[in-house]
Amino acid sequence: MYGAFWRLVEGLGVKDARARWERQSPFVQRAVPPLVIALLVILVTLPVRTPDPAAMVLLAIAYALYVMPYRWRRYALPATVLALAVAYPFLIQQADYGRFLFKLPIFNTFPSMTTMVVMVVFAMMAVALNIVVGYAGLLDLGYVAFYALGAYTAAWLASPHAAQFKWPGHHHNINLDIGGIGIPPGVGGIHISIWIVLLAAAIVTAVGGVLIGLPTLRLRGDYLAIVTLGFGEIVSEIARDGDKQTLGFNLTNGPPGINPVDPPGFGVWIAHHLGLPANYLTEAGVYVNFTTVIYWSAIVLLLITIFCSVRMRDSRLGRAWIAIREDEVAAAAMGIPLMRTKTWAYASGAFFGGVAGAWFASYKQAVFPDDFYFGISIFVLTMVILGGMGNVWGVVAGAVLLSYLNYEGLNNFSAWMNNNVLSCNASSQDPAKVISGGCINAPLVSTGIYGAILVLVMLFRPGGLIPERRRQYEFETGVHDEPLMDVMQAPAE
């Protein structure tokens, strides 16, 4: 391909083109080709559509990042992504969508703010699950348990739910207010500031993780997977049926869930002294509104999660996790306490899962058992595997991509297919069927798409989109004893 291109150029009469090109500095060799290609594409498409200014700016930023030396890009790339993410509410919440943004091919508009919040929350969960699956190599199929535990802890600690119970040994109902936000007068119950609740939910979930982990982590990998799956089912079943009628004690309020849950906020004192919003619900600007502040706070929480995750990976504990993942027997022989190290991985993964769950509950201002079904565990696992097990940035990318697809992308994709490719007759479409009346309804088979992603990634790119270098070696060479016979080996690809 490369040689053919230069033969073509030299055939056109440019003498020694290839030799002269290869004498250029590496910078020129890297910087010029994309520029030429981009100019050609723009020139060719100019008669059809005028270049969109916003798209041009985005391309220019991407180009600048591509051209700069690695030691700059290392910091500039995350900084740019973060800056764009923080500025996103100002870009999307315009009355005129096309002012700063452009429509993507096939997938149409950029994600809305509500989808963005969900994307960040799922990114947080994926980074947390990555500690368990990516670093320590323990397959956890019941991650939704921690998410649910965090959400329900938050619902208990910041809602009128507890008002139906009495203090132990007392006659009056529970009524506690520690920096609670937006409490209607006289409802009672426990109302604790969300920031304390986040920490409390994280600790409760981490303890839950230890309790689940202690008996089960002795098991071999695949037994562990199925036991965690069982725990996930148990927790979601308790969430669904843990009301007075079935359980005898109103733990989760059953199918209607706990509703309402207090919104987040900093309270009047901090709002007065630091200018942070007292109650997120009362933020009602065009750009800075409830969803926006929720989104920004979620980004801060995600950054904290990423920071802790990276620091833990590089710590003594993190290196012990990776050693266990690579070879449990060798790690034990080197003096790593297997149980304690694995339990720590579990607890850390659960900790941040709890934060994500609590934040989600506070954002929704309610907890519904239907939000915590088994599919979520697989969904988050797919994010980790698609992004690249063990690589934080890959996992974030996988999470953002998949949750976008789940909440908006597949819908947009179906709409585009139905309008442009298929002979769809919307009136004869059955919304409960995947294929009907010449239309498709892709969101219905989302789990099948995740399944296909899991299989394809494992077969063709086991390291994920952005593989962790160390993990890639493991997948390429295998970590077990070398197979004796060639029949056991994977076919060369």
* Site residues, other proteins (CB under 8 A): 133, 137, 139, 141, 215-216, 218-223, 225-227, 229-231, 233-234, 237-238, 240-241, 246-247, 378, 381, 385, 432-435, 444-445, 447-455, 458-459, 462, 474-475, 478-480, 483-485, 487-491
- Residue appearing with tokens 């936000």: 181
Residue 258, classed as helix, strand or coil, is: strand
DSSP for 161-213, written as a single string: GGGGSBPTT-SSBPEEEEB--SPPTT--EEEE-HHHHHHHHHHHHHHHHHHHH
| Minimal distance, residue 202 CB to other proteins, in Å | 24
Smallest CA-to-CA distance from 130 within 382, 455, 335, 476 is with 382
From CA 260, how far away is CA 361, in angstroms rounded? Answer: 10
CB 147 within 8 A of CB 353: yes
CB 144 within 8 A of CB 374: yes
- According to DSSP, residue 431 is labeled T
| Minimal distance, residue 338 CB to other proteins, in Å | 16
CB nearer other proteins, residue 10 or residue 233: 233
- According to DSSP, residue 492 is labeled P
CB nearer other proteins, residue 138 or residue 194: 138
CB nearer other proteins, residue 145 or residue 293: 145
CB nearer other proteins, residue 177 or residue 237: 237
CB nearer other proteins, residue 112 or residue 447: 447
| Minimal distance, residue 230 CB to other proteins, in Å | 3
CB nearer other proteins, residue 31 or residue 219: 219
From CA 341, how far away is CA 5, in angstroms rounded? Answer: 55
| Minimal distance, residue 430 CB to other proteins, in Å | 9
DSSP for 97-156, written as a single string: GGGT--PBTTTBSPPPHHHHHHHHHHHHHHHHHHIIIIIS----S-THHHHHHHHHHHHH
CB nearer other proteins, residue 265 or residue 463: 463
Pairing of strands 439-440, 435-436: antiparallel
CB nearer other proteins, residue 264 or residue 464: 464
461 phi, psi to nearest 5 deg: -150, 70
| Minimal distance, residue 242 CB to other proteins, in Å | 9
CB nearer other proteins, residue 182 or residue 230: 230
What does each C-alpha distance from 443 to 384, 403, 413, 419, 450 come to in angstroms? Answer: 20, 12, 9, 16, 11
From CA 375, how far away is CA 121, in angstroms rounded? Answer: 16
| Minimal distance, residue 445 CB to other proteins, in Å | 5
CB 369 within 8 A of CB 254: yes
Six-digit token string for 173: 């109902």
| Minimal distance, residue 288 CB to other proteins, in Å | 40
| Minimal distance, residue 146 CB to other proteins, in Å | 16
The CA-CA-CA angle for residues 198, 404, 438, to 5°, reads 145
| Minimal distance, residue 412 CB to other proteins, in Å | 20
CB 396 within 8 A of CB 387: yes
Six-digit token string for 193: 């500031």
| Minimal distance, residue 234 CB to other proteins, in Å | 4
CB nearer other proteins, residue 69 or residue 451: 451
From CA 350, how far away is CA 366, in angstroms rounded? Answer: 21
| Minimal distance, residue 375 CB to other proteins, in Å | 9
CB nearer other proteins, residue 154 or residue 235: 235
Q: How far apart are the first and last CA of the chain?
A: 21
CB nearer other proteins, residue 75 or residue 460: 460
Residue 48, classed as helix, strand or coil, is: coil
| Minimal distance, residue 232 CB to other proteins, in Å | 9
